Amino acid sequence: QVQLVESGGGLVQPGGSLRLSCAALGSIASIYSMGWYRQAPGKQQREFVASIISEGGLILYDDPVKGRFTISTDNAKNTVYLEMNSLKPEDTAVYYCNLRASTAQTISPTTYWGQGTQVTVSS
């Protein structure tokens, strides 16, 4: 059983900063990638924000967040972070942590989601 525990959301003024954290708990054998998605108000689908591919350390960002958001991991803690700077009202969304990993029970990689954390950018 794998559980993702998110923290760090909140209300911030435009131009401000927030740092999201997501810790992966459970019997994880191997992590393939960790990342973040978001679902804005009124939108039905989650959108990709950023991710880190474990093999090779490849880091990917969606265009709207490039240069403002930074994703990082603490491999010892199975934790992924999202540092968000120069926040804009259009960044308002529920942010979801995403993990692809294998466990002792699931040899093939499985996708897991966090519970979501609200980020609101407003003056």
pLDDT of residue 24: 96
Q: How many other C-beta atoms are found inside a 10 Å radius of the C-beta of residue 73?
A: 20
Mean pLDDT by 10 residues, the chain (123 residues): 94 98 94 97 96 94 98 95 98 98 87 97 97
Q: Determine contact, residues 84/38, Cβ cutoff 8 Å.
A: no
pLDDT of residue 105: 84
Centroid of chain to Cα 39 = 12
